[in-house]
Structure 1
């Protein structure tokens, strides 16, 4: 699948685009391509060719940046809701958007992989704004190479994203984790999927479980609550290197209507934030993405607002993990 020989004409276009930063930076962070000791960087991947229902999440990075809370790169910014934790030990930047080629899946996978590899090689934590969920597949390739082994994931979604057909191996936003398991990028034995409730999903759920992933369905999560969910996440991940991937359709459509494949029966913004806040401190988290934000279906940009603030919840965990590591 991987197309390492990208045509020279496209390579030339990409090099020209690298010097064109035309986005509003997330939270007022510095917008640049050069790294200088940053702990994390925001990076957009505006690709949605792999959607199967309502397209438009290629504009997700734009609306998330627009609705993001301001982050002061000297004091780190406040801890929203609790308002007592200052992320003053972090340095961040906005890398802009990776070059993608809409409609050209193989080329885009290679471009995402190369862009992520550059960020990871500079020992910076990527915070990716998608884009549809297929982007996590080439991200996982870059993470697994950096770690020297498959990486685990904490996956928030209403779908398992392990689709397939008997006839062919396809690449859509419904298949990234089946592909990643097959290709050896994903450590399924330490991975967990949370909030699953998509219709006609029995074969996808079966594939996930048969290949070693733990699955907490939406019905189960509503019953067990936040604290038990957090315990299961932490027990499952253990000390494995992991990423967090968050599809906004984990939330109920009444909370996050701006997405391509909404499924009723989901969760509140508070529940999403609280699980992130409690589960991630102490884990070996290598990166984060939030995907499937679709502005065209987002009245008052409330889905984009959620996504921007979710990034700050992740950053608090990054800050706490850095502080704990320095105190050892």
Structure 2
């Protein structure tokens, strides 16, 4: 094996040095965590994911045989935020995302997904399909008195018509939830596949269900790292036991080739609680799987 040693990979995601987003799939960090309801620290997530991605630069994907080095990638750095101001930060994120044709976002808390969906839905001129990996439904109308926080993302996305809830599917759900929140979510037409459902049915059946729900129209992927069990992703702010194993999530993602995803994010990586970089590596690998899906 020739070339730069893994540990000397440049600091951009997958070692990417290009910063011009024109015609590229743009990688952007969104280091926001002011809307978290438990442990903060996801502001450090983007840099941790970039560092961990050095493990994924040594060749092509062994399933699709796509080599990310051949893709038009740009790491455009981190988006600007309004310090301590959730609505202000959401507005800034939306404005910056609107300038990018195909965005892959590294979070940051899950609240960043809302302005990303606002920007993409506006560009598409229609509601999007949505695949969410998560431990939580994130359809709370109120987060301890705060209208906009990481637990209300999809409540607002549905209410604002950014996504078509009949083309929205959530995988890995297992956290405590109020019955009225659960009933409201299902009542909108959202498909919820619990972590237990994933364990019992297997990745192939889950991927088939995703394909059935999303169909062929444009969709978005949002991956909250707490969808994974804390054994595989301890570095997150709201861990929940009983989650997906890394291999289960990876096996589902590898069966989604050909779907019309127009962007994605991976969120809720909090490096201060990580062990041996395993959470950051899982997040980086999720992005790698997305880029190499074929």
Distance in 1 of aligned mates of 2:179 and 2:193: 14
Matched residue SS, 2:99: helix
Distance in 2 of aligned mates of 1:196 and 1:167: 21
Corresponding position: 1:241 with 2:241? no
Matched residue SS, 1:194: strand
Distance in 1 of aligned mates of 2:178 and 2:231: 22
Matched residue SS, 1:307: helix
Task: With a CA cutoff of 8 Å and minimum separation of 6, indicate the structure with the bigger relative contact order.
Answer: 2
User: What residue number does 2:233 align with?
Assistant: 256
Taking structure 1 as reference, are residues 101 and 85 closer, same or farther at Cα in structure 2, changes over 3 Å only?
same
User: What residue number does 1:79 align with?
Assistant: 61
Corresponding position: 1:290 with 2:246? no
Q: CA deviation at 1:56?
A: 0.3
User: What residue number does 1:37 align with?
Assistant: 23
Q: CA deviation at 1:83?
A: 8.5
Taking structure 1 as reference, are residues 85 and 37 closer, same or farther at Cα in structure 2, changes over 3 Å only?
closer
**Number of residue pairs matched by the alignment:** 285
Corresponding position: 1:311 with 2:293? no
Distance in 2 of aligned mates of 1:94 and 1:25: 6
Distance in 2 of aligned mates of 1:57 and 1:168: 21
Coordinate RMSD, CA, aligned: 2.1
Taking structure 1 as reference, are residues 309 and 168 closer, same or farther at Cα in structure 2, changes over 3 Å only?
closer
State the TM-score, normalizing by the size of structure 1. 0.82
Note if contact 2:143-2:151 (Cα within 8 Å) is conserved in structure 1: no
Distance in 2 of aligned mates of 1:179 and 1:250: 21
Q: CA deviation at 1:165?
A: 4.4
User: What residue number does 1:271 align with?
Assistant: 248
Note if contact 1:28-1:71 (Cα within 8 Å) is conserved in structure 2: no
Distance in 2 of aligned mates of 1:307 and 1:106: 26
State the TM-score, normalizing by the size of structure 2. 0.91
Structure with the bigger percentage of helix? 1
Note if contact 1:253-1:262 (Cα within 8 Å) is conserved in structure 2: yes
Matched residue SS, 1:59: helix
Unaligned runs of 5+ in 2: 1-9
Larger radius of gyration: 1
Note if contact 1:31-1:96 (Cα within 8 Å) is conserved in structure 2: no
Q: CA deviation at 1:277?
A: 1.1
Matched residue SS, 1:188: strand
Q: CA deviation at 1:180?
A: 1.0
Corresponding position: 1:69 with 2:46? no
Distance in 2 of aligned mates of 1:265 and 1:203: 23
Distance in 2 of aligned mates of 1:185 and 1:128: 18
Matched residue SS, 2:292: helix
Note if contact 1:152-1:190 (Cα within 8 Å) is conserved in structure 2: yes
User: What residue number does 1:299 align with?
Assistant: 275
Matched residue SS, 1:158: coil
String of CA shifts for 1:129-185, please: whole Å, max 9, x gaps: 001001101111001111101111100001000012499771110000001111111
User: What residue number does 2:84 align with?
Assistant: 103
Distance in 1 of aligned mates of 2:184 and 2:201: 24
Aligned partner of 1:207 among 174, 184, 187: 184
Pairing 1:36-185 to 2, within 5 Å after superposition: 36-38=22-24, 40-69=25-54, 77-79=59-61, 82=63, 84-87=65-68, 90-120=71-101, 125-165=102-142, 170-185=147-162
Distance in 2 of aligned mates of 1:303 and 1:219: 21
Q: CA deviation at 1:202?
A: 3.0
